[in-house]
Amino acid sequence: MKAADFVSTPDDLLASAIRIGEHLELGGWKVKIEPFDLAYPRTPVFTAKREHTTSIVEVQSSLNAGVAAEWARFAKASSTDTRIVIGTSGTFDAASLEQLRTLGVGLLMIGTDGPYEVLPPIDLALQIELPELPAKLRSILGAAYDLFDKGQWREGFEHACTRFEQEARKYLKARVRSGAQFISSGGKPVTYSQAKIGKMTIGQLADVFAEMRSPNVPDSRLGQCLKEINPGRITAAHYKGTAIVRERKLRADVARNMFLVVNGISYSKGIRQ
């Protein structure tokens, strides 16, 4: 990447732009310099794409809040994972940082060792309202909620699924110890050891709950939550960066899936009956 590759970027920002562009390329991003799009509010210094995420990158010597807000509005109108990043070699005061944080815009600072992230950008195209977290579930799902707050919704959903899986295993183990019985789809009695339950995935757990003889209400509803959430869990875990149709459905369903996680764990803990 060299200065001659840029047309509209001011000369005094070229050195910073080149360092940021090279930093993105080293991170596996496919970078385009000053790309044109009829819908763009202005020509950005870069767009950078990696897997399903597109980052629009501006380079500024001091915060131009109007430009950041303009790009944030554009990102919110997008249908795919779109994030806005401001890169700078200057110094932003606390008020400027708060403006960016409020907008959901990320910040890359250029230090002596190269660019580093100060504020993570948020997927502004995805507007999620998470369910209120019961006090008893905060230690279980608090880390997942923190990831959502940072704009890392895929990672947050994956973490939530992992915790749901763990809690469902605990619940099923307890039900087996208390005498729960199971009938296979072929009509034959089946048994499950504690060790086998401890290795079950969400999909396998859903199948076992469906085999339970005379399930109570929490048994049935916990099993239904597991079954309904499993397709999203499979996409998040096994189709990263691929399968556009699956990605679109995951984005569309993630808020509902988080309600299923919270409700499912609530059934396992006796919070819901």
| Segment 81-109, tens digit of pLDDT | 899 999 988 878 888 889 999 999 999 99
**Residues in a beta bridge with 212:** 182
Query: Across 146-233, where does the E strand assignment appear?
Result: 182-183, 189-190
Rg (alpha carbons) of the chain, rounded to whole number: 23
Contacts of 77 (CB under 8 A, 6+ apart): 125
Is the distance from CB of 88 to CB of 108 less than 8 angstroms? yes
Backbone torsions φ then ψ of 81, nearest 5 degrees:
-60, 105
Burial class of residue 4 (count of CB atoms within 10 Å of its CB; 0-12, 13-18, 19+)? exposed
Distance CA 89, CA 66 (A): 19
Q: Burial, 78: exposed, middle or buried (Cβ in 10 Å; 0-12, 13-18, 19+)?
A: middle
pTM of the model as a whole: 0.75
Q: Which residue has the tokens 């907008």?
A: 103
Q: How large is the average pLDDT for residues 39-64?
A: 92
> Helix, strand or coil for residue 103?
helix
**Can you give the pLDDT at residue 94?**
87
**Tokens read off for 83:** 């994030």
> What would the pLDDT profile of 106-158 be if each residue is shown by its tens digit?
999 988 888 999 999 989 988 888 999 989 999 999 999 999 988 888 899 99
pLDDT digits (tens, 9 = 90+) for 68-77: 999 999 999 8
Which pLDDT band, with edges at 50, 70 and 90, does 273 fall under? low
- Kindly report which listed range (29-43, 115-129, 183-197, 242-256) carries the lowest average pLDDT score: 242-256
CA-nearest of 221, 167, 173, 213 to 189 is: 213
Of the CATH numbers 3.30.390.30, 3.40.50.11740, 3.40.1350.10, 3.40.50.720, which one belongs to the domain with range 3-119?
3.40.1350.10
pLDDT band at 241 (very low <50, low <70, confident <90, very high): low
